[in-house]
Structure 1
Amino acid sequence: MMINRLVYLANVRLPTEKAHGYQICKMCEAFAANGVEVTLMHPRRRQLDPELSRQTIFSYYGIAPSFGVRSLPNLDVVLWERFFPKSIFAPVFFAHTLAWGLYAALVARGEGADVYYTRDSGVAYWLTRIGLPTVYEAHVVPKRGQRWLLQRIARRPALRLVVCLTSFIKKGFAEMGFPEEKIVVLPDGVDLSLFKNLPGKEECRRRLGLPLERPVIGYIGRFRTMEMEKGIPELVQAVAKLPTINGQEPLLVCVGGPMDVVPGYLELADRVDAPRERFMFVDRVPNTEVPFWIRSCDVVTIPWPWNEFSAYFTSPLKLFEYMAAGVPIVATDLPSIREILRHRENAWLVEPNDECLAQAIFRITTDRSLAQELIEGASRDINNYTWERRAYNIIIALKIL
């Protein structure tokens, strides 16, 4: 199957401060870099944040306008969520997903593309029903309504490929009846150009106003996802347990927001008798600035607790950015993380609790030889995980099928 034109249909608010918006746009950019003409279609949604309302996808994410963007009419039911209980809003949202998916699929059909790409179950359902060649990208093993929808398309000839972030998602889709030969596992990626010629740690700290002498422990990414904590409370407690390092108070720097949860983290620090001077919380920063924040750190962390999503379904963007930035990684030892990271080779993996996190952070920040070994291992591996390579692998898979 030759691919000259691709339409990416995304039923999400764009631009968005959440990671999925960046991932979608980087994939569009990566397909374009592989010589494909790309059009991204998304619904018109109200932006409550004035900063978002003033920016385009390209300016917000700091990417070149290498693909087309088309916003489609939409009834923004998300604005109704605060007025209804979840039991009422959920079926309304599902019905809207189906309705917009049908409308978007019919509009997209007029583009005459070689392939239609989406990570939305409602869109995928209608694309395949209409008979358009479809790639569905799976970020979870779906439940309830989404599962029912996707099972309806599992054997449709128009479904050309399912792209899964982890092997666990692939297993779930195979159990749902999807042909295994149509499923590929491709984790997320990174734009290595953002990390090329990156300044050293001290220069990055000067640029960002961070202390030069203190050991800095970093967490870069959203503090919560889908109303789930991503390990910041455990990280706060871990930093509370740390002694001084080389005579200096350690500093935990968390970058990504949302900031409304920060008072709770600081109250937790008070309860565990950790001085607030050990903590710095920063809202989302532009994607082009993320490498500077990572490089400023002595160690970076993925402190996720054990839950189904974190353990089996996630491929965090921060993981690949950490690897590219040349900073040692401490991460909780979850199955999804182990698909990329290997203990003592390209990261230090620990049990998901504050005590183990504290021990690992102290060891990495005081053992320069070990830290350098982990950096070198990650630097060797990261070339396998670029956005362009990911898009290329999808194109090759479609050509073979």
Structure 2
Amino acid sequence: MIYLGRSRLQRLRANLVQSLHTASAMSRCGVDVRMYLPQWPRRLDPARRLSELGVNEALNVVGSFWIHPRFGVGTFLRIHRRAVGRADLRYTRVVPWSIEMARRGLVNHVEVHNVQQIGDEGQMEPLVAHHRAGAIGMLIPISRSAARILVEAGADADRVHVAPSGVDVGAYDGIARFDADRLDHPRVVHIGQLSDERGRHVFERVIRQGVGEVTLIGAGTRDAADGLRDAVRMPPVPAKAVPGWYGRSDLVLIPYQPSIRTVATMSPMKLFEAMASGRPIIASDLATVREIVEHERNALLVDAEDSQAWIAAIERLRDDRDLARTIAEQARRDAEAYDWSRRAEGILDAIARQQGLAPVSATGCPRP
């Protein structure tokens, strides 16, 4: 398999982590994966960087100077035409690259993430046309909502496979177990950027009402006029350190707002990390979130924009420890279905069915 990606190895982005773990899991499924990414700086040790990102097994990652916005993918395909042409499988999560490969007669399979952007940039029509013609085999959206949009645009429903984001479940096996006794004044850890569309007001309300201690990791610097000035702030951490920080959290808030650009089709990796941590989850009641978690079964779902509703949910878990334990334990069990190995297995099985081959699930894909 040739896997084409445009995420930069030196940066810490969710799309990079997802791409690397998916490719690594495909390799464990028995697929010979060669992953091309933009060339990284000479000072960067790729093996060490993969370890920092939680990829602990060998993965054939090749840096290419020709994967760069100034060139587009056409130059790369011309220079590497033999390697790309001889590959049994070609895979990408970059829709314009998928379309260009299809235009050149290179059958490929593509993950579909930001459907809104695809439509805005005029890519939906050629994507679906090449898909219906067979030049793009499987469309792999990350949510059922995204799949519906693709089918409504004319995609062949039989060649659309939904593959939500994932998590390395095993990486969370060693973290501290959830302790409901700490819910009197819970520690709430948020990892990553924090903005209005990611629910900044919710964390401000938690601090203002004193219902918990907020720790922000990689969320920027303190501002004296900031409603988050009393939060504990930490610098960004490598991906392999993320499970440990969830282990220091007593509950997880995932307050994505309806205004976030990808709200209609997203599959946030943060949600699966929270599930794997075995912590009680309070999340926004959004359609794409409801695809993964269910109110009062493995999470509490609340009105994203009502900050007081988030406080009420925290207080509910504080007052009902049995509910907190129930949803935390169920979320941890449900996370098993979203391990990276299961994600890769599902994608490869879908491709195999489309090509009339035996499914990889017959032998299974081991975890790292």
Calculate the TM-score normalised by the size of structure 2: 0.85
Partner of residue 14, structure 1:
9
1:113 aligns with 2:87: yes
> Contact conserved, 2:37 with 2:67, CA < 8 A, in 1?
no
When structure 1 is superposed on structure 2, of 370-379 and 340-349 the one drifting more is 370-379
Structure 1 position 103, deviation (Å): 2.2
> Contact conserved, 1:219 with 1:253, CA < 8 A, in 2?
yes
1:137 aligns with 2:111: yes
Q: In structure 1, what is the Cα distance between the partners aligned to 2:285 and 2:183?
A: 31
Q: In structure 1, what is the Cα distance between the partners aligned to 2:10 and 2:154?
A: 34
1:6-65 C-alpha deviation (Å, 9 max, x unpaired): 111012322321111111100111101101111111222669xx9xx5665413313124
Q: In structure 2, what is the Cα distance between the partners aligned to 1:398 and 1:324?
A: 27
Q: In structure 1, what is the Cα distance between the partners aligned to 2:59 and 2:80?
A: 15
Q: In structure 2, what is the Cα distance between the partners aligned to 1:108 and 1:366?
A: 61
Q: 1:108 to 1:319 in 2, by over 3 A?
A: farther
Find runs of 4+ consecutive structure 1 residues off by over 6 angstroms: none
Partner of residue 34, structure 1:
29
Q: In structure 1, what is the Cα distance between the partners aligned to 2:260 and 2:185?
A: 36
1:304 aligns with 2:256: yes
When structure 1 is superposed on structure 2, of 170-179 and 234-243 the one drifting more is 234-243
Q: In structure 2, what is the Cα distance between the partners aligned to 1:219 and 1:229?
A: 14
Partner of residue 340, structure 2:
387
Q: 1:73 to 1:347 in 2, by over 3 A?
A: same
> Contact conserved, 1:7 with 1:108, CA < 8 A, in 2?
no
Structure 1 position 212, deviation (Å): 12
SS in 1 for 2:111: strand
Q: In structure 2, what is the Cα distance between the partners aligned to 1:213 and 1:162?
A: 46
When structure 1 is superposed on structure 2, of 135-144 and 67-76 the one drifting more is 67-76
Partner of residue 358, structure 1:
311
Q: In structure 1, what is the Cα distance between the partners aligned to 2:8 and 2:125?
A: 24
Structure 2 residue aligned with 1:73, among 65, 69, 72? Answer: 65
Q: In structure 1, what is the Cα distance between the partners aligned to 2:156 and 2:79?
A: 28
Q: In structure 2, what is the Cα distance between the partners aligned to 1:42 and 1:178?
A: 28
> Contact conserved, 1:115 with 1:132, CA < 8 A, in 2?
no
> Contact conserved, 1:9 with 1:104, CA < 8 A, in 2?
no
Figure out how many residues of one structure are paired with residues of the other and give that number.
345
Structure 1 segment 1-400 matched on structure 2, within 5 A: 6-44=1-39, 53=44, 56=47, 57-74=49-66, 96=70, 99-111=71-83, 112-141=86-115, 142=118, 143-147=120-124, 149-200=126-177, 214-224=185-195, 229-243=197-211, 250-257=212-219, 259-260=220-221, 262-263=222-223, 267-269=225-227, 276-277=229-230, 279-307=231-259, 309-352=261-304, 353-400=306-353
* Letter aligned with residue 78 of structure 2: L
> Contact conserved, 2:10 with 2:40, CA < 8 A, in 1?
no
SS in 2 for 1:311: coil
1:295-349 C-alpha deviation (Å, 9 max, x unpaired): 2111111011112635322111111111111110010101010000100000011
> Contact conserved, 1:342 with 1:349, CA < 8 A, in 2?
yes
Q: In structure 1, what is the Cα distance between the partners aligned to 2:92 and 2:214?
A: 37
* Letter aligned with residue 225 of structure 2: E
1:170-224 C-alpha deviation (Å, 9 max, x unpaired): 122123222111111111111112112323469xxxxxxxx99952022223325
When structure 1 is superposed on structure 2, of 99-108 and 351-360 the one drifting more is 99-108
Specify every segment of 5 or more residues in structure 1 that has no aligned partner in the other structure, as ranges: 1-5, 78-95, 203-210, 244-249, 271-275
> Contact conserved, 1:122 with 1:149, CA < 8 A, in 2?
no
SS in 2 for 1:312: coil
> Contact conserved, 1:44 with 1:72, CA < 8 A, in 2?
yes
SS in 1 for 2:311: helix
1:252-293 C-alpha deviation (Å, 9 max, x unpaired): 112233x15x42xx62427xxxxx44x122232112211111
Q: In structure 2, what is the Cα distance between the partners aligned to 1:284 and 1:293?
A: 11
Structure 1 position 231, deviation (Å): 1.0
Q: In structure 2, what is the Cα distance between the partners aligned to 1:70 and 1:14?
A: 10
Q: In structure 2, what is the Cα distance between the partners aligned to 1:41 and 1:280?
A: 38
Q: In structure 2, what is the Cα distance between the partners aligned to 1:230 and 1:212?
A: 23
Structure 1 position 237, deviation (Å): 2.2
SS in 2 for 1:375: helix
Q: In structure 2, what is the Cα distance between the partners aligned to 1:332 and 1:68?
A: 38
> Contact conserved, 1:311 with 1:337, CA < 8 A, in 2?
no
How many percent of aligned residue pairs carry the same amino acid? 28
Q: 1:171 to 1:107 in 2, by over 3 A?
A: farther
> Contact conserved, 2:298 with 2:327, CA < 8 A, in 1?
yes
Specify every segment of 5 or more residues in structure 2 that has no aligned partner in the other structure, as ranges: 355-368
SS in 2 for 1:229: helix
* Letter aligned with residue 270 of structure 2: K
SS in 2 for 1:15: coil
SS in 1 for 2:236: coil
Give the CA RMSD over aligned residues.
2.6
Calculate the TM-score normalised by the size of structure 1: 0.79
